[in-house]
Amino acid sequence: MDSQKIVIGITQGDPSGVGIELLLQVFADTNMYKYCIPVLYGNPNSLNAWKKHLDMQTPLFHLVESAAQAIQGKLNLVVSSEDEIHCEIGKASAEAGLQALKAIDKALADIEHLSALVTAPIDKSTIAPHTPNFTGHTSYLADFLGASSHAMMLVCESLRVALVTEHVPITQLGKFLTQSKIEQKIDVVYNALRTDFNVIKPRIAVLGLNPHAGDHGLLGQEEETIIKPAIATHFKKGRLVYGPYSADGFFGSGNYKHFDAVIAMYHDQGLIPFKTMSFMDGVNVTLGLSIVRSSPDHGTAYEIAGKGTADASSMRAAVYEAIHLVRNRKQFSEDSANPLSFAELRRERFRIDF
């Protein structure tokens, strides 16, 4: 795909965290403009305050009303808010949360002009007071885009981990973990591996919930009653879905290397091993949306915000991953469009007129 067609929307994130700091670092590198047309959604007062704080002259912003007006070779800026803000770097506040939410909403209002969306880190607790039932980017974007089936996946060079449940308290897992939900997540992961990652015949590993994957029911019944039946449903369709595996031995033994993706039952089960292996350059991807969405795999990091020590590797990787997935989707769409029938394939291969 020509870079002129890959328009990447980028939300500023929490203005008190490391998001803007990292975005400025990433797009101060002019090489980034060779691969996409970036469109930043944010408050210019926050952005300029950060540039002053970091003593950065670049990148320069090119103001546009919409991504439809964005041009190549510039960091295009769509103003999400012109509020005079009084957020303190490194300190959570409701005001910072509101600015982060306005940037997300502005990008979503412009979504038809974007090829992908990259979201800088937010603090869910500061956004939640401004919008009901907010639990994070993943569900918020899915609700807006009407994606009834979606999944959160962490991606790095050596591992892909998706989650059945996301931001759910451990004590409430039983309410959310069902055979139907596990089947649904497997389906989303399987299809996304094909369309977004160009894995034509994916191999998927599913983890158990309990220690030692329940030890045949001795340490819990979920593996026998909901996880194995969910796996069997997909295996009967000819899909290479295996498990449930005991999470500790699965990662410790390196068994994950034999699969294209791993599906964990809950947040920490999947993200602890992932971040242990790839904390600095991992990427969070939302599967099942009509548009590619990625983000860094870390949070607002208030404790280091503004100190000049934040590493932009994950933010840079999120932008590159978005570009990569957009290209993969286009390639898959082209490859699967108007497939030849079996008879047509025979004629093409043997040059026989039937």
Query: What percentage of the chain has pLDDT greater than the value 70?
Result: 94
Q: 148-280: CATH homologous superfamily?
A: Isopropylmalate Dehydrogenase (3.40.718.10)
pLDDT (0 to 100) of residue 253:
93
Q: Are 154 and 273 in contact (CB under 8 A)?
A: no
Residues 100-112, mean pLDDT to the nearest whole number: 97
pLDDT (0 to 100) of residue 159:
95
Q: What are residue 39's phi and psi, to 5 degrees?
A: -130, 110
> What are the percentages of helix, strand and coil residues in the chain, rounded to 5?
45, 15, 35
> What distances in angstroms separate CA 5 from CA 46, 200, 247, 330, one per listed residue?
29, 25, 41, 11
CA distance 280 to 318: 11
Same fold, 1-147+289-354 and 148-280: yes
pLDDT band at residue 214, thresholds of 50, 70 and 90? Answer: confident
For 179-211, b where at least 16 C-beta lie within 10 A, e where not — what string?
Answer: beebbbbbbbbbebbbbbbebeebebbbbbbbe
Note the Cα 7 to chain centre separation in Å: 17
| 42-99 per-position pLDDT tens digit | 999 999 999 999 999 999 999 999 999 999 999 999 999 999 888 899 999 999 999 9
Q: Are 266 and 164 in contact (CB under 8 A)?
A: yes
Highest mean pLDDT among 4-8, 75-79, 163-167, 251-255: 75-79
Model confidence, pTM: 0.90
pLDDT (0 to 100) of residue 114:
97
pLDDT (0 to 100) of residue 63:
97
CA distance 12 to 32: 17
Locate the domains of the chain by residue range: 1-147+289-354, 148-280
Query: What percentage of the chain has pLDDT greater than the value 90?
Result: 83
Helix (H) or strand (E) holding 315: helix 313-336
CA distance 258 to 202: 11
Q: Measured on CA atoms in the order 11, 15, 18, 21, is the torsion positive or negative?
A: positive
Angle between the N-to-C axes of helices 44-54 and 19-27, in degrees from 0 to 180, rounded to the nearest 10: 70
Strand ordering across the sheet containing 37-42: 61-63, 75-79, 37-42, 7-11, 116-119, 292-296, 283-287, 151-155, 160-163, 261-264, 203-207, 240-245
Q: Are 99 and 89 in contact (CB under 8 A)?
A: no
Given its phi and psi angles, is residue 103 left (phi above 0), alpha (psi -120 to 50 degrees) or beta?
A: alpha
Identify the DSSP state of 224.
Answer: I
pLDDT (0 to 100) of residue 293:
98
CA distance 278 to 317: 12
Q: 1-147+289-354: CATH homologous superfamily?
A: Isopropylmalate Dehydrogenase (3.40.718.10)
